[in-house]
Amino acid sequence: MCTTCGCGSGDTRIEGHHAHEHAHEHEHEHAHVHADGSVHSHAHDEPAHSHAPGLTPARMVQIERDILGRNNALAANNRRYLGEHGIFALNLVSSPGAGKTTLLVETIRRLADALPVAVIEGDQQTSFDADRIRKAGARAIQINTGKGCHLDAHQVGHALEHLAPADDSVLFIENVGNLVCPAAFDLGEAHKVVVLSVTEGEDKPLKYPDMFAASSLMLLAKIDLAPHVNFDRRRAIEYARRIRPGIEVIEVSATRGDGMDAWVKWVRRGAEAARERRRDDVAALKRRIAELEAKAAQP
* pLDDT tens, N- to C-terminus, the chain (299 residues): 565 555 655 567 777 765 444 433 333 333 333 333 333 333 333 333 434 556 777 777 766 677 788 999 999 999 999 999 999 999 999 999 999 999 999 999 999 999 999 999 999 998 899 999 999 999 999 999 888 889 999 999 999 999 999 999 999 999 999 999 999 999 999 999 999 999 999 999 999 999 999 999 999 999 999 999 999 999 999 999 999 999 999 999 999 999 999 999 999 999 999 999 998 888 898 888 988 888 888 88
User: Does this model's pTM top 0.85?
Assistant: no
Q: List the one residue out of 72, 35, 29 whose CA is nearest residue 188.
A: 72
List the chain domain ranges: 13-71, 78-276
- Which option is the CATH number for 78-276: 3.20.10.10, 1.10.10.10, 1.20.1090.10, 3.40.50.300? 3.40.50.300
